[in-house]
Structure formats: C-alpha cells, structure tokens
Structure 1
C-alpha cells in the first residue's frame, strides 16, 4: 500500500515520488508521480504534482539526490495533477529553468474551460460547467507558472536519435536529459528520457490504451507506446516510469507492459466495431454503457477509472471508428457519413445555345 509522497529509489541520484488516485466524492485530487534526478550539479524535476504535502515530499527528494547548484523543471503536460506546485522552482535558491508545452498554456491558465470542453461531449445528469468547476476546485494550491517559466517551443527544435529511432524535441544538461514530443494524451504532451539512469518517463501517455480528453490523439498515443517498447527492446532505455502507476518497470517487464497496452487498444477497437455493427445510428449513452462493460471485461480502465472518463473515452472511440454526431443535441445519435460521389457540376450552355 503506497501513500502520497512515498519514494521509490531508482539509484542514489534518482527517485520517483508517488502521487495518489482521484476520488472526487471524497474531495481528493489525483496527484501525478514526479521524478527527481540529479545529473552533475543540476537538479532535474519532472512534474510537480499538486497539494502542499506533495510539495514537501518533492523538497525532501531534492535534498536526497543532492548536492546541486542549478535546477531544471520540466512539465510533461498541462493537466492539473502535474502542475500545481510549479512555482517551487522559485524557492530553490539556485539558477533555474522551467519549461512547459506551448500547446498546453491555455489550459494551464484556464483549466475550467478546458475541462468543460471535454465534459460537454458527454450526455449525463450533471451539466459540464459545474462539474468542471467542482473538479478544478480540488486541485489546490494551483500555481502552474514561476518567474522563469518558458515554453519548450521557444528553443530550437532538435532531431533526437536513439539508434534507428528518430524523435523531435529538446535536449538539456549536455544531452543527459531528453524531452521528446509525443502529444497523444493531450495536445502538448512530452515524455522524458534520463540518459544517466536509463529512465524513460511516459508521464500520462501510458494511462490507458485510448485517450479520454477532447484533445487526445489515439494514433499518437499508440505510436509512442510502440516506439517506447522498441527503445527497451534495443537497450536504449532500462527503466519505465509514468504518471499514475506506482511502479518502476525494468527491461522485459516494460516491453510486456507496453505491448499489453497496444493489445488492449486493438481489442477495444474490435469491441467497439462489434457494438456499432451495421446499425445506421448509435446513441452515445447506449454505446458508452456497453463499451464500459467491454473495458471492464478486458481490465482496460486505465489510470483513475471513473464513469465520466470512460464516457469521454467512448466518445473518442466513436470518432476513431469514423462516426459523427448527427446534430448538436444531447445524446444525439451518431452515424457514419454517406459515401457518394459529388454531383457533377452543371455544364454551361455553349455559344448560341437557347431559343431564338
């Protein structure tokens, strides 16, 4: 049994600080795991979670991996459970750099609007705006920016090679820290590779086989899972960590875990095809109920499983199958577009045509 702020020691200069699961009914925010690492004289923090107790755990972890005289804070994406303590960078008392993904800045500045956008796609008894406000209120204090915060995109984009694999992203600390663009779980998401200890931190790209957010990209999620598996098979990464499973996976175990997520994605796609079948119209509420049963039967709930997130994932799955809502009404049916050639354009009459 783990508790908020517990540490998993990876080596004498790297620890994983454990977060906690979401429990909205009891007013408990989820808190993402964070990595604390030292390379040379540079302290590297990957995400900062949220809540004052987690902030204290980060400070203790930073002291544990020391000594350091510089700091680098890397935000993997803008979701509330990853960014609440970002102003910790201002309290470290050393020169510090802090980077966030540019595509996530809007949601970091206005998280309620971001969550309304995801919730309003789902038919349900609770209206989206109050639901979003209630969720956002759990994540306090919320300080996603510090005095030195910049976006990754202000730096020149680099091509980063791992043997035959190519990524785009940014390197820090003389190449000891690599930030790789993934952009699957949400629009700005990045993953982080720590060269000295061989850790590949997926953050939330491994939350499940399919994304729930309105800005999730299923293809990118599954592409990065496949690329990560290859990194382990080739020995280019040794340890796998993420934002919400309280474990460090090594070598073959990491490959098995990643391949399992990809197999789940394929199985859920097949299940969704069976649920839609040849029906001309599909009600999202009906599809969601049956899709949730398929997810439960396959053990594919992902991180922080709850009915609302499952419904959001189900809507994304309908889009993956090529269905579209027929109107903007609540629980309006979805269907596949009719495939037909456009009508030929009328031929204008030639010179002299017409009656006389």
Structure 2
C-alpha cells in the first residue's frame, strides 16, 4: 500500500512523489502528488505538497533525477495541499525560479477567506461544522504553510505563448528551452494550469482529473471537460505517454490513460443526466433532499472523485445544481432552488 512520500520512478529523470488523502476525522491533511524531473541541467518540481515528511521526500527525489545546476518550481494552483513547501526553491543552493498562477494569489495570501466562502455554499447540506469553524479546522492541518519564497513570481508576468502540441493549440508558457510546457486549464479553480514534460512524455493534470464534477466555488465544469478531452487527444496522437495527477497516486500509460480520461467524461454526462432526473418536471428542488439523492447517484456511478467525502460531495452538489441552471429562491438556509423565469414578470407577448 502506498504511503505519504513514496517515490515512483517514471524514467531515469522523472519521479512522482506520492501524497495522501484528506481525513478530517484523523486530523490528516491531504497532500497532493508532486513531480520531480530533470530537463537538461534544470531541476523541475511541479507542486510541493505540504508537511515536513513530504518535503523530505521531495529532497530525496531531487537526488534521484541526476545532476542539475538550476531549479524551476511550478505551482499548478493555490490550494494548500499543493503549496505548503513552495519555499523549497530557496533552499536548493542553485539559481531558482518559482512560478504561481496570478488568479490564485488571493487564496494563497488568505486561504481562510477562500475556504469560508466555499463552505458557506454548502451550509446545511452535510453534517459539518459552521463554515468558519470548518475552514479553521481544515487549514490548521496544513503545516508548515510556506506558499511563497524569495523567487516567487506569477506565470502572467511573462507573455503568454501559443503552443502547438500535435494537432492541438494551447495557451501557456514554456520553460527550459521548451522542454517544460505549462498549459492554462482553469477548470478545477480559477488559476489552474497543467504541465507537459516534452522529453519524458509526462502530462500532469494536477487536480483537473479529480472527478467528473468539479467541487470548488471557482470551478468551471466546461473547462474541466474540455481539458480532459484535449489531453485524451494528446495521448491518442502519441504526444504524451504517461498521465499523472494530484490525487489518484497512479501513473497511467498510453491506452490506459485514454480510457481513464474517457471514463471521467462519461461519468460527467451520466451524472448530469441523473441530476436532471432528480429535479423533476417542475425544476424545483430543496438542496438537502437533492443532495441525498445525488450522493446515491454519485455512488452508483462510482463518480465520487479522487478523494470522496461528505464535504466534497456537498460542494459537488451545489455545482451540479448551478450547472443545470437552477438558482436559490432566497438566502435562507436550504431554500428551494429553481430555474429562473424565462420572461420578465409582467412581460407581454
């Protein structure tokens, strides 16, 4: 059984460092997988996870990928399970560069406000503490938390590039003489990027592959689905060979990667179909009732995502209701949701 900090070799210059799942009952933070790679003489670290144990594993991985004389640390997005050891860039003893997505700076500076807003959306949908209490309890698990270092800059401080990979076009940035490609995706959250390591054929989805329905308040379902479909094409065209992500603790190769990506897209359509059926002809639902039946549909489809739990399930529920075009009828807890009227009150034909 995999454990926090285990190293999985992909090739002689690429290592996946395994994280762990979130378990609030055991006071266990989730820790995202990280990639450690050498591109020429450049050490590349994609995400840094959190906890001292994981930091030590990252340092061990840097010694496995061969000699390097400079370093590049890339943050895929600003969630705490991905950024806690970002100041590692300052301790590597070589010239270093660290990049983060500009749209995620606010949540990196003030994660409590970000998570309180996220949890306010699900009040009453799961047996969870009040949003400020839940946010405080969860964030207290992520220690130490060092999301910024001396060399931290945003990707957006560099001009974006049009990147051609196979038959596809992406917007993003290249590093290490083009060997490292950072592609904007922005589905899982506002600033999310994915990373393509050209020479090793690794495509790191980070959290875009977490599940069929994005859970975060700033998730964009269409962008998640679009990037999953595009990445599947890259594998079909031989432009990528190994698929990794933030939370499934696996390396998928070739046809297995395509099957996994297709499965997520099939789950997304099946989940939305189930949700449409749960809203009924009138299109009005009470969130608590919908949440319970939606959870049954998620379980039946095996679509709970990489780290299924009541908290993320409730967050998926709200996003699914919004995806169907429903909106709350008032600000009261558990107020009914319905589709807005298709004409203005009092309008005449």
Which TM class, normalised by the smaller chain length?
Answer: over 0.9
- CA deviation string 1:292-341 (max 9, x = no partner): 00000111110211111101101000000000110111111100011126
Q: Which residue of 1 aligns with 2:93?
A: 93
Q: 2:189 aligns with which of 186, 191, 200?
A: 186
The residue number in structure 1 matching 2:35 is 35
Q: Aligned to 1:269, which of 252, 272, 290?
A: 272
Q: Is the 8 A contact 2:215 2:316 kept in 1?
A: yes
Range 318-327 or range 116-125, more displaced: 116-125
Question: Deviations 1:225-270 (Å, cap 9, x if unpaired)?
Answer: 0000000001111110000011110110000000000000000000
Q: Deviations over 1:167-217 (max 9, x none)?
A: 000000010000000000000000000011000000000000110000000
Partner of 1:144: helix, strand, or coil? coil
1:292 and 2:295 correspond: yes
Whole-angstrom CA distance in 1 between matches of 2:173 and 2:300: 40
What does residue range 119-268 of structure 1 map to in structure 2 within 5 Å?
119-124=119-124, 126-268=129-271
Which one has a bigger Cα radius of gyration? 1
> Residues 90-144 of structure 1: CA distance to partner in whole angstroms, max 9, x if unpaired?
1001000000000001101111111111110113252101100000000000000
Which consecutive segments of 4 or more residues in structure 1 shift more than 4 A?
341-345
Alpha-carbon distance between aligned partners in 2 of 1:154 and 1:110, rounded to the nearest angstrom: 21
Q: How far apart are the structure 2 equivalents of 1:306 and 1:107?
A: 22
Task: Give yes or no for the alignment of 1:22 onto 2:22.
Answer: yes
CA contact (8 A) 1:283 1:331 kept: yes
**Alpha-carbon distance in 2 for matches of 1:123, 1:27:** 21
Aligned partner of 1:352 in structure 2 is none
* CA contact 1:123–1:285 (8 Å) conserved in 2: no
TM-score with structure 2 setting the length: 0.97
Residue 177 of structure 2 aligns to a residue whose secondary structure is: helix
- The size of the alignment, in residue pairs, is 345
Structure 1 unpaired stretches of 5+: 346-356
Q: Distance in 1 between matches of 2:134 and 2:187?
A: 24
